[in-house]
Chain A
Amino acid sequence: MTNDSIVATIKSSPVRVLTGDVAMWFLVLAELTVFAILFICFAVARAFNQPLFVEGQAQLHPTLGLINTLALIFSSFWLALAINYYRQQQVRSTQITLVLSILCAVVYMVVKYHEYQLLWQAGFSVTTNTFFTLYFFITLFHYLHVIAGVLLIIYLFTKATTATTHSNLYESIGVYWHAVDIIWIILFPILYVISQ
């Protein structure tokens, strides 16, 4: 019986197990806490200067924000499928789903970069006002996490060439990537949707 089949047996039983490495979960909790502080800073700053934030939000591109949200959701979905295929030792399916996950993440990166370019061309930068300082700081910080995530998924792809058992590694990186997705899920409405 392989390690993965033992894990699969445990998962189908009533015993509750945490997927991935516990260290990764602590890292994710730390990251989520940092972003929570940033979200609250954004909301409080908005509360003190609402007209400035409403005006700033009007300069953003909601369609690009929507495309980015969908890209990250699809990327998370493909990675979750890749982990499932990896557990079943289906190398080809794992590789295909990992490539799809990477492609969706690249779509996010390209679209976000395009949005930054549009804002820079329109004369908005980190120093424009409080809204754009927070906007660029939070989204660029998230962008760095996306770059790290894409590199990690590419690393998973290089490991998916043979039917070996590294499912803990796959699950850990999956946990990180889904956390990056959750952060964007919270960011999307506060930047693009709630504009009153």
Chain B
Amino acid sequence: MNNPDKQSQQRNLVALLALLLLTVLSANIRYTESLSLSLLALLFVVFKAWFVTHYFMELSHAPSLWCNLLFSYIVIIPSVLGIIYYVAR
């Protein structure tokens, strides 16, 4: 049987690499001319926040109420911001 702590460390490392990749991609979006494309950065926020909550905060094995609460936050806030930015363009 695999050591759960070892598995957890490996998952954290994968999450770190994904976070770094998405951050670098987000930073490069700054140089695009299109607002629609730059709103991709807000989509990346959802994925990045999911990696942090799911792996670093260990919500993957938390009660579903807390998972849903945090997941709603990380989806709703970037979505609302995206809608405001898009409507005001």
Contacts and interface: CB of A to CB of B under 8 A. Distances in A.
A16 B35 contact: no
Given A43-B85, A87-B5, A17 B61 contact: yes
Interface of B: 4-5, 8-9, 12-13, 15-16, 19-20, 23-24, 26-27, 29-30, 33-35, 38-39, 41-42, 44-45, 48-49, 52-53, 55-58, 61-64, 66, 69, 73-74, 77-78, 80-81, 84-85, 87-89
Contacts of A18: 62-63, 66
A20 B24 CA distance: 31
Interface size class of A (residues with CB under 8 A): 35 or more
Nearest to A46: B88
A85 to B, nearest CB: 8
Prevailing SS type, chain B contact patch:
helix
Interface of A: 8, 11-12, 16-19, 25, 29, 32, 36, 39-40, 43-44, 46-48, 50, 62, 65-66, 69-70, 73-74, 76-77, 79-81, 84, 87-88, 171, 174-175, 178-179, 181-182, 185-186, 188-190, 192-196
